[in-house]
Amino acid sequence: MQNEIITRTHLTCPVCGAREELEIPADMCLFFHTCATCSARFRPEAGDCCVFCSYGDASCIPQQREQLAAQSEENGA
Ligand SMILES: [Zn+2]
């Protein structure tokens, strides 16, 4: 199980399927991303806060922090 914050991940373009390695911004959600391959500008899916949550291998930093916090609460209980 993941136990540390991932800061680099791959985004998969929903239009052309190209994968791109990106740094996850630490303190903001990336709401738009333009594909380097097909130039499509895409947005998160409904209910997701950023493109990493929708199309990335890892969620955005705030989501990862929440997941880690939830895990450590479980372990401590
Ligand atoms: Zn693309």
Q: How far is the CA of 67 from the centre of ligand 1 (A)?
A: 29
Residue at 23 is within a domain: yes
Residue at 36 is within a domain: yes
pLDDT at 37: 97
Q: What is the pTM of this model?
A: 0.83
Domain ranges, residue 60: 8-76
Residue at 1 is within a domain: no
Burial classification of residue 18, based on how many CB atoms lie within 10 Å of its CB (0-12 exposed, 13-18 middle, 19 or more buried) = middle
Residue at 30 is within a domain: yes
The tally of domains found in the chain comes to: 1
Residue at 2 is within a domain: no
Residue at 62 is within a domain: yes
Q: How far is the CA of 11 from the centre of ligand 1 (A)?
A: 10
Q: How far is the CA of 63 from the centre of ligand 1 (A)?
A: 25
Q: How far is the CA of 42 from the centre of ligand 1 (A)?
A: 9
pLDDT at 39: 98
Q: How far is the CA of 43 from the centre of ligand 1 (A)?
A: 12
pLDDT in tens, 4-63: 999 999 999 999 999 999 999 988 788 999 999 999 999 999 999 999 999 999 999 999
Residue at 59 is within a domain: yes
